Amino acid sequence: MRSLLVTGGAGFIGSNFALYWAEKYPDDRLVILDALTYAGNKANLVELEGLDTYRFVHGDIGDQALIESLMLDEKIDLIVHFAAESHVDRSIHEPDAFIQTNVLGTHNLLKVAREVWLERDDAPSWHRFQHVSTDEVYGTLGPDDPAFTESTAYAPNSPYAASKAASDHLVRAYHHTFGLQVTTSNCSNNYGPYQFPEKLIPLMIVNALTGKPMPVYGDGSNIRDWLYVDDHCRGIDLVIEKGAIGETYNIGGNNEWTNIDIVKQICTHIDNIFAADSELRSTFPDAPAAAGKPTESLITYVKDRLGHDWRYAIDATRATNELNYEPVETFESGLQRTLKWMLDNESWWRAVMDGSYRDWIEKNYSAGE
Ligand code: NAD
Ligand code: TYD
């Protein structure tokens, strides 16, 4: 039986991971630590409530005394580190929190882990620090560039990417210098249930359902590799189970799309679902699809994001060869599942959306600028 500290476990990927882990390894202890920022929502974990193995702690990864007492009291031997500020647009708007949490917060976790796992007589015989990171640390690609491998040089372009790159380097250094048993995964863009509607896919779905403009940055030609969140969770599981200590693993979906193609696919799915379902037409009366109009009429090209990376692509050969990692969800099925979840969970997305940030986005990304 392992005792996990899952940081950021009330956020999008962290909560999906906690639900995945509780089902797959029901005997493991799951301690979720989350600061419940705008992106964290305890309700994401409601299915775990009542389990003896589950504990939720509201706190900050930068709180040294809290981390130390949690690690000792709960005999933590596995940290899975998701907690971060994660949205590029916010990092352009207000970068400080990204340095605080992603850099200093990660360092605090590493420092306490080193003390508890490497410097105490009662240290556990086995320990692991799994750091969850992003492909954005590698920078941007041109149309014919090969996909990112684990040896691609870091070239982060946004404050978000730079803060994640710094955290990756700290994790590496704590292994190299002190012998902390670490693994790192660098993953492409995730989508799925519980994703905060500021990221491309859930934002476009919400705006389509509520009849708001669907803001496409620049000309919509930017490319991302998309992975259904469950496939990421399985990839992290494989890295923990089979990954080599001190190594990094790229996790991706082999699934590159331009932004405008994704937005158009969402529009087509919504048109088709609404055409076949009169109940949806009355639940979301502001959606153009409720009146039989094409959802694409909401697409609005807006001013480009500052420093916008043009293309990300992941070469996951190492994870495939060494860990037997393969994504199982197709983009078609993953998008359908996500859309169905959003349609079934209107109260969730209405509750989590933050008015003041929406105002900022609308001001900075308004049509025609
Ligand atoms: P998210 O923004 O949905 O969730 C982040 C969570 O961390 C929230 O619950 C928030 O409350 C919590 N948190 C923030 N600051 C904290 C602090 N100081 N102490 C404790 N908790 C804190 O993010 P996500 O999309 O779930 O991403 C999770 C991790 O995966 C991040 O490290 C991110 O860099 C990485 N990642 C994300 C993607 C993606 O597409 N979303 C892709 C690759 C990697
Ligand atoms: P996002 O979901 O913010 O992820 P990331 O920036 O980490 O890749 O954005 C994905 C892509 O979609 C990115 O190229 C920016 C673009 N985008 C839009 O065109 N409009 C939007 O409203 C948002 C949020 C993103």
Q: Ligand 1 test: best mutation among 37, 57, 96, most atoms within 8 Å of CB? A: 37
Whole-number pLDDT of residue 162: 98
At residue 182 the predicted structure's pLDDT band, cuts being 50, 70 and 90, is very high
CB 194 within 8 A of CB 16: yes
At residue 351 the predicted structure's pLDDT band, cuts being 50, 70 and 90, is confident
The answer to whether the CB of 99 is under 6 A from ligand 1 is: no
Report how far residue 161's alpha carbon sits from residue 171's, in angstroms, rounded to the nearest whole number. 15
Whole-number pLDDT of residue 362: 65
- How is the chain split into domains, by residue range? 3-195+226-255+310-328
Q: Is the pLDDT of residue 366 over 70?
A: no
Question: Which CATH fold topology does 3-195+226-255+310-328 show?
Answer: Rossmann fold (3.40.50)
Q: What angle do CA 181, 322, 319 make, to 5 degrees?
A: 85
Proportion of the chain above pLDDT 90, given as a percent: 95
pTM: 0.97
At residue 369 the predicted structure's pLDDT band, cuts being 50, 70 and 90, is very low
The answer to whether the CB of 222 is under 6 A from ligand 2 is: yes
Q: Is the pLDDT of residue 22 over 80?
A: yes
DSSP-derived pairing of the beta strands 54-58 and 78-81: unpaired
| Ligand 2 atom at minimal distance to the Cα of residue 262 | 12
Which residues form the catalytic set?
A: 135-136, 160
What tens digit of pLDDT does each residue of 205-234 get? 999 999 999 999 999 999 999 999 999 999
At residue 352 the predicted structure's pLDDT band, cuts being 50, 70 and 90, is confident
DSSP annotation string for 222-256: -EEEEEEHHHHHHHHHHHHHHPPTT-EEEE--S-E
Q: Give the mean pLDDT of 191-207.
A: 97
Closest C-alpha among 303, 289, 296, 294 to residue 264 = 296
The answer to whether the CB of 327 is under 6 A from ligand 1 is: no
The answer to whether the CB of 12 is under 6 A from ligand 1 is: yes
Q: Is the pLDDT of residue 188 over 50?
A: yes
| 213 HSE (CA, 13 A, CB side) | 14
- Give 241: exposed, middle or buried? Use CB within 10 Å, 0-12, 13-18, 19+: exposed
Q: Ligand 1 test: best mutation among 57, 64, 86, 101, most atoms within 8 Å of CB? A: 86
CB atoms within 10 A of CB 337: 17
The answer to whether the CB of 238 is under 6 A from ligand 1 is: no
Report how far residue 109's alpha carbon sits from residue 132's, in angstroms, rounded to the nearest whole number. 13
Question: Locate tokens 């639940």: which residue?
Answer: 283
What tens digit of pLDDT does each residue of 134-178 get? 999 999 999 999 999 999 999 999 999 999 999 999 999 999 999
Compute the distance from residue 201 Cα to the ligand 1 centre, in Å.
Answer: 17
Whole-number pLDDT of residue 368: 45
Q: Give the mean pLDDT of 27-54.
A: 96
CB 210 within 8 A of CB 284: yes
| Ligand 2 atom at minimal distance to the Cα of residue 160 | 7
At residue 361 the predicted structure's pLDDT band, cuts being 50, 70 and 90, is low
Q: Is the pLDDT of residue 299 over 60?
A: yes
At residue 354 the predicted structure's pLDDT band, cuts being 50, 70 and 90, is low
Q: Is the pLDDT of residue 132 over 70?
A: yes
Whole-number pLDDT of residue 353: 84
* CA dist list (Å): 320 to 50, 177, 249, 251, 254: 37, 29, 10, 9, 12
What tens digit of pLDDT does each residue of 232-271 get? 999 999 999 999 999 999 999 999 999 999 999 999 999 9
Compute the distance from residue 309 Cα to the ligand 2 centre, in Å.
Answer: 10
The answer to whether the CB of 263 is under 6 A from ligand 2 is: no
Whole-number pLDDT of residue 365: 66
Alpha helices per DSSP H over 62-158: 64-73, 88-93, 96-98, 106-118
Q: Is the pLDDT of residue 355 over 60?
A: no
